Structure 1
Amino acid sequence: MIKTAHLLILTLSLALSGVSAPAHANNSRYAAFVVEENTGVVLHSRRSEAERYPASLTKMMTLYMLFEAIETGEIGLHDQIRISANAANATPSRLGLRAGQTISAENAIRALVVKSANDVAVAVGERLGGGESRFGELMTTRASELGLTGTTFRNASGLPNSRQTTTARDMARLAIALHRDYPDYFEYFNEDSFTWNGRTYRNHNTLVGRVRGVDGLKTGYIRASGFNVVVSAERGDHRLITVIMGGPTAAARDAHAEELIEAAFATLEQRQDTRLFATLSSPRINPVRQQDLIARDVAALHLDEPTEMGSADQPPALQVVLADEDAMRAEPLPPATAPATRRAEPSLIHGAWSIQVGAYNTSGAAHDRLAEVAIFSGALDSAQPAARAVDISGDRLWRARFEALTEDEARLACRDLSARNHPCFAVAPGR
């Protein structure tokens, strides 16, 4: 199983960046993160380390602590958990248990997963921690040990507390830890209903059983957080963890999560031969330095006229892969296609145009980018992908380009990519 450290293997700017609707991008509470669990490859990341309120995603940690207690023998699946007056008074969502009643640990698991019962969460916290406040401290300590460095818990339920915060990336780490450490209990997340006292409750996570491969995990909502969800999905050899935080509605959140899941699986199918590895200790590329390199690359083109990105009047800043690229350990990639022989009147040569979709510190990163965006424009079907090395002020960059295009094909391809928010500009012959 993947170690927690592998979550930071790589941050890629993939095809997934094009599926985030403007409504999400403009939502100050929005954050998203998609990671392939088995390899640790990050497929999508938007504000993934920004502070957010977990709401009932908190119960994932409560469940982790409960699973751990069961495994160590502190409590048994059939042991009864007593409901205190404090637990019985928890605000909805809840089962409506009265003070003095009990619920088995196994039914508590189901109540937390399916019903997201706050009264049960409080009772579990009191049973395992001797009090919910103390349990919050234990949760935070354990979370830190699991690598959730941006998370603080104050209660077991996720009910509003201004000091209970997390990040989308941390929630993905927690989801992976649940599956990695307690696979025998993970099936509870895949249950679509729970019956208690003759009443059946449907799973709040409506993606379970509806979207192919989805087998958990948890939803959450408080007014301050918006609509959150963490989703696990498995197809073939790939298992995805998708996190959405700050959705405007449950329906919009679920639709966006499904969109990211489908796009991620499609991307993984295109990337079967890509193997990228890095470690937590790898140095980070300085984003300011990287932007400076890209700006000089554009300036070095000496363009005589405005370049195009789709129908825009001016190209936006090139998107930069902010990843541990200098420390990548990758299989050697095929050499770039040799440059075409320069001829007279290059503008009249069929297929002499190209498009550039980025500039990167390594040839491998440039090839990755080419593979990621190639599927989004039919105009690129016959294009030749190439990573072209260029030295600018003593620094070497690799331009990620599709070559052997006509001018019309180049501009059409950029329009297609622009529609999905992928940086692109057409490059005239000889540049």
Structure 2
Amino acid sequence: MLALRACVLAAMAVFACLLAFPAAADTRRYAAFVADAETGEILHSRLADARRYPASLTKMMTLYLLFEAIENGELTLESNLTASRIAASQQPSNINLSTGDTLSVETAIRALIIKSANDVAVVVAEELAGTERAFAVEMTARARELGLSNTTFRNASGLPNSRQVTTARDMARLTLALRRDFPQYMPYFEETRFSHAGRTYRSHNRLIGRVEGVDGMKTGYIRASGFNIATTATRDDTRLVAVVMGGPTASYRDNHTEQLIEAAFRSLNNREALIVAARDLQPRLNPIREQDLIATRIAALDLTMPVAQGDGDTLPPLRIEITDDLGSVDTPSRPAAVEAPPEDTEPVLAGVSSGDWSVQVGAYADAAAAQARLETIQDLAVALSGATMETPQFERDGRALFRARFTGLAADVARQVCSQLAAHDEPCFAVAPGS
């Protein structure tokens, strides 16, 4: 029993050692979110649903639509894009395009990721939608389809606009959507430099090569937002997504993100140690009885979740959530002087359009829990009435888990379902064939 208690307390103490947020920092800008990208377990969530300015994290959605245009055959990596007068006039960060300058789509991808070039963002927007304003409408519409229910875009770059807002959770969803839907373009996010017109530009993402397993994605900064980052990190078979917004400096943002990633991996490792310790308490029982015993003995330790631990004198308590789905209970807040984006009305799907896409609404320790989740969710979206409920098993660090998935959907239907579920604050993400 003492060994079990020690393992539990070690797991719970992981996040207590995180870097304290500076007392002088503006909590109206700060937010953080860390989750297991595969299972959806939330490992750290603080102000994750508070409205924040995305800054250049916006360019992830610009890239999403650009990748989609390539896949749809509208463009190729070799296609040339031309800078308009409006594009050439954009404020830094930029690659100093002049009116009439051309660049390839592949160069545009690198310029958006590595240099975070605002002039290139407008070039892409005008190429795909005619005007940046029209492109922003498309960006917001796609955000809704991807489940980014608290995000509104007004431009393609992330330059200041009081109505361009998002949340840390939404940026995590967008990060994962990029990796899920366009894995073939992910190597661009690992590059740390590129050259154009005789100049070499270095990446603002200094966690690549510094933190084990970090393999993208995007940084951002405007004065109103502070220093933002959305990133992913993979070790062994585990991938994490981490978002930090509102850092007072780039150095602080990077250090804080590194500590969150390290703490998250340690938390997962300690959880596995806890399971092993619990299984060693007495001779093996049948699996169902054994799980009951483990749950009873852990509950007897009187450890409550989530655990509140302050990071600093001026911040509200940290909420650590280890859950079996993608949900959270953080209370939304809104930055000062930001007008809430207008509510968008989601169309209701009349029926199921068959296909080979799925939607996943959680991952659970047993198939019965996954099935119960599916039955609970089914009535929240009309299109799920004819979908097939499945609970495929997979293994994570020696632990059997069961996905809760609706299958047999078309891609657009799957995305629409997730948009509708997001409106009910229910976790969901669309799953491409083979994923």
TM-score category, normalised to shorter length: 0.5 to 0.7
Matches of 2:141 and 2:186, distance apart in 1: 22
Which string of whole-angstrom CA distances, capped at 9 and with x for unpartnered residues, describes residues 90-126 of structure 1? Answer: 0000000110011100100000000000000010001
Please say if residues 13 and 43 of structure 1, whose CA atoms lie closer than 8 Å, have aligned partners that are also in contact.
Answer: no
- Alignment partner of 1:81: what SS? strand
Q: Determine which structure has greater relative contact order: mean sequence separation of CA pairs < 8 Å that are 6+ residues apart, divided by chain length.
A: 2
Matches of 2:305 and 2:115, distance apart in 1: 48
Please say if residues 217 and 231 of structure 1, whose CA atoms lie closer than 8 Å, have aligned partners that are also in contact.
Answer: yes
Residue of structure 2 in register with 1:81 after alignment: 81
Matches of 1:359 and 1:91, distance apart in 2: 46
Residue of structure 2 in register with 1:16 after alignment: 15
1:92 aligns with 2:92: yes
Residues 147-226 of structure 1: pairs in structure 2 closer than 5 A: 147-226=147-226
Residue of structure 1 in register with 2:304 after alignment: 358
Residue of structure 2 in register with 1:235 after alignment: 235
Please say if residues 13 and 44 of structure 1, whose CA atoms lie closer than 8 Å, have aligned partners that are also in contact.
Answer: no
Residue of structure 1 in register with 2:433 after alignment: none
Partner amino acid, structure 1, of 2:18: V
Matches of 2:305 and 2:74, distance apart in 1: 55
Residues 331, 224 of structure 1: alpha-carbon distance in 2 compared, 3 angstrom cutoff = farther
Which string of whole-angstrom CA distances, capped at 9 and with x for unpartnered residues, describes residues 381-407 of structure 1? Answer: xxxxxxxxxxxxxxxxxxxxxxxxxxx
Matches of 2:48 and 2:293, distance apart in 1: 30
Residues 65, 338 of structure 1: alpha-carbon distance in 2 compared, 3 angstrom cutoff = closer
Matches of 2:305 and 2:92, distance apart in 1: 51
- Alignment partner of 1:64: what SS? helix
Please say if residues 14 and 43 of structure 1, whose CA atoms lie closer than 8 Å, have aligned partners that are also in contact.
Answer: no
Matches of 2:187 and 2:270, distance apart in 1: 29
Residues 333-352 of structure 1: pairs in structure 2 closer than 5 A: 334=294, 336-337=296-297
Using structure 1 for the length normalisation, give the TM-score. 0.62
Matches of 1:267 and 1:106, distance apart in 2: 39
Which string of whole-angstrom CA distances, capped at 9 and with x for unpartnered residues, describes residues 153-207 of structure 1? Answer: 0110000000100000000000000000000001110001111122111111000
Residues 17, 74 of structure 1: alpha-carbon distance in 2 compared, 3 angstrom cutoff = farther
Give aligned-pair identity as a percent: 56
- Alignment partner of 2:183: what SS? coil
**What is the deviation of 1:152?**
0.2
**What is the deviation of 1:358?**
2.6
Please say if residues 14 and 266 of structure 2, whose CA atoms lie closer than 8 Å, have aligned partners that are also in contact.
Answer: no
Please say if residues 16 and 43 of structure 1, whose CA atoms lie closer than 8 Å, have aligned partners that are also in contact.
Answer: no
Matches of 2:292 and 2:188, distance apart in 1: 42
- Alignment partner of 2:272: what SS? coil
Unaligned runs of 5+ in 2: 1-10, 276-289, 307-321, 324-435
Residue of structure 2 in register with 1:46 after alignment: 46
Partner amino acid, structure 2, of 1:49: D
Unaligned runs of 5+ in 1: 1-11, 276-329, 340-353, 361-367, 370-431
Matches of 2:192 and 2:261, distance apart in 1: 19
Residue of structure 1 in register with 2:354 after alignment: none
- Alignment partner of 1:50: what SS? coil
**What is the deviation of 1:272?**
3.3
Partner amino acid, structure 2, of 1:358: T
**What is the deviation of 1:357?**
3.9
Matches of 1:71 and 1:256, distance apart in 2: 36
Residue of structure 2 in register with 1:123 after alignment: 123
Residue of structure 1 in register with 2:430 after alignment: none
**What is the deviation of 1:271?**
2.3
Residue of structure 2 in register with 1:31 after alignment: 31
Residues 256, 335 of structure 1: alpha-carbon distance in 2 compared, 3 angstrom cutoff = closer
- Alignment partner of 1:271: what SS? helix
Which string of whole-angstrom CA distances, capped at 9 and with x for unpartnered residues, describes residues 219-250 of structure 1? Answer: 00000000000011100011011000000000
Which string of whole-angstrom CA distances, capped at 9 and with x for unpartnered residues, describes residues 67-97 of structure 1? Answer: 0000000111100011000000000000001
Residues 41, 86 of structure 1: alpha-carbon distance in 2 compared, 3 angstrom cutoff = same
Matches of 1:331 and 1:96, distance apart in 2: 62
Using structure 2 for the length normalisation, give the TM-score. 0.61
Partner amino acid, structure 1, of 2:20: A
Residues 147, 194 of structure 1: alpha-carbon distance in 2 compared, 3 angstrom cutoff = same
Residues 396-407 of structure 1: pairs in structure 2 closer than 5 A: none
Matches of 1:54 and 1:272, distance apart in 2: 35
Residues 142, 274 of structure 1: alpha-carbon distance in 2 compared, 3 angstrom cutoff = farther
Please say if residues 110 and 188 of structure 1, whose CA atoms lie closer than 8 Å, have aligned partners that are also in contact.
Answer: yes
Residues 164, 355 of structure 1: alpha-carbon distance in 2 compared, 3 angstrom cutoff = same
Residue of structure 2 in register with 1:269 after alignment: 269
Residue of structure 1 in register with 2:7 after alignment: none
Structure of larger gyration radius: 1
Residues 335, 124 of structure 1: alpha-carbon distance in 2 compared, 3 angstrom cutoff = closer
Which string of whole-angstrom CA distances, capped at 9 and with x for unpartnered residues, describes residues 291-326 of structure 1? Answer: xxxxxxxxxxxxxxxxxxxxxxxxxxxxxxxxxxxx
Q: How many residues align?
A: 284
Matches of 1:338 and 1:36, distance apart in 2: 23
